[in-house]
Amino acid sequence: MSSLHCIFVFLALAVVSKPSIADEDQPHVILIFVDDMGWNDVHWHNPDIAMPNLMDLADDGVIFEQSYTHPTCTPSRAAMMTGLYPFKTGNQHQMVFNLHPSGVPLNFKLLPEKLKEVGYATHMVGKWHLGFCKDEYLPTNRGFDSHYGLWTLGVGDYDKLNGVLSPSAGYDFRDNLEVVPKSDGYLALMLGDRAEEIVNNHSPETPLFLVFTLDIPAKHLEIPEEYEELYADIEDDRTRQFYGKLTMMDDIIGGVVDALKDRDMYDDSLFIFIGDNGALSSQAGSNYPFRGIAGTLFEGATRVPSIVSGKGIEKTGYKSNELYSIVDIHRTILDVAGAKAEPELDGLSMWPTWSEDEPSPRNEIIYNIDDDPVSPGAAIRIGDYKLITGHPDLLYPYRDIRLTDNYYNYGDPPASGLPTTDQEANAPAPQNVEYLFNIVDDPEERHDISADNQDIVQDLRDRLDEHRKLLHPPVNQTTELAGSAANFNDVWSPGWC
């Protein structure tokens, strides 16, 4: 039996966890989930970016250096909300676009629904991106007491418009079901104000689950002038603007932390800070030194900065190389809240790892399994080894792999990684690669060692095939023009599927 096969047995036993802090008292859980944040977009990897509030949280907690998400928004959010790999819920293919008549299937109970069963008040501020074509998919019908923010994949910071892969742009900004009146307010600042308002109006005796899904740093370079001026000495426009946006993000998070302190809730709060995937560089942030941009199977899309801080974290102020996946957040929150976790969940409880620096129970990362006939792609890591098969860019045919498979840093010429129907006529056909990397020795994925290690390749292929036995066909992702915002007064709306 190979060492990889021994690992599989270890994984099956790893779901047993220690008693949680919920055995003593349920914490407030503040999940800060930011959009398209690259590895090089945080102070602890790029000291030129000012982030005093996040660094304060890190001092009271742990910076994780091997925290993984899925390559795009919807799969990562689905994994966190369901505790299951996206290929088991049908959310593995690309993402939910505006005209897709689907979302996370309604037969899955989401995290806020489970937390409400054990007494939590549940609120979401920011980006949803898990389906909106009918009311049943909306966040306030899937466990959240309130939602303030956007339903689609992203909007302009000032105009709140989204027109990606759509015949026309539509407005997307909601307060529960009501359309927020148009204004010249900066969206992220408005979201921060609402998150603070929720904290200020909350009774500390009731456990709070606040999902703060900030729409930044994201894809746009729009930024209030005062934040750009903080980096006036930087000549490159994109770098100056994006650094300012990242510091603004830190200020917004600091406002929520201050509100918790003012309400005497800070010491009873557990903070989880993580991105949904890597940066859309070189249009926006930077995943340097990792390979690839958001939407690929490379580390640049999937290995993201993370902090866990606050109540119950006994060992603090250090960086951890222990492995965890975004799918683990679901079970770990259930653990600390004293809620029931179904045995079939893919997520493992990271609480002993997070709180006491114990070895992670996870030794396997599923980046994605997508058997789409046009552009299949899958990737898995077990221990030191990572295998990529098929096409490394999940967003083919809407992007060109010659652009997305690269190493981008600040100061490089900007190149858009947004999906578009205007694909170059000479873009290459989907690749069918077989890459094997020792991801510990070669985290930048520069040296394919598959030719000399076919036994490891086969072990990893066999493990992917084991997972494929539970693969669910993708949700309906046909384009339905009935959902066009133009049919709803230019506002993205439910009621068409």
Per residue in 468-478, is it b (16+ CB within 10 Å) or e — as a string? eeebeebbebe
Instruction: Report the C-alpha gap between 433 and 18 in whole angstroms.
Output: 41
CA-to-CA distance for 325 and 167, rounded, in angstroms?
Answer: 36
Q: Are strands 61-68 and 318-325 parallel, antiparallel or unpaired?
A: parallel
Could you tell me how far CA 244 lies from the centroid of its own chain?
21
Q: What are phi and psi of 179, to 5 degrees?
A: -75, 125
Distance CA 158, CA 138 (A): 23
Catalytic residue among 28, 43, 70, 73: 73
Compute φ and ψ for 219, nearest 5 degrees. -115, -15
Rounded Cα gap, residues 285 and 295, in angstroms: 14
Beta-carbon contacts of residue 288 (< 8 Å; ≥ 6 apart): 38, 39, 40, 281, 407, 408, 409, 410
Which of 28, 70, 129, 330 does the annotation list as catalytic? 129
90: left (phi over 0), alpha (psi -120 to 50) or beta: left
Task: Based on the residue annotation, tell me whether 6 is a catalytic residue of this protein.
Answer: no
Peptide bond into 282 cis (omega under 30): yes
Strands 364-370 and 377-382 come out as: antiparallel
Residues catalogued as catalytic: 73, 129
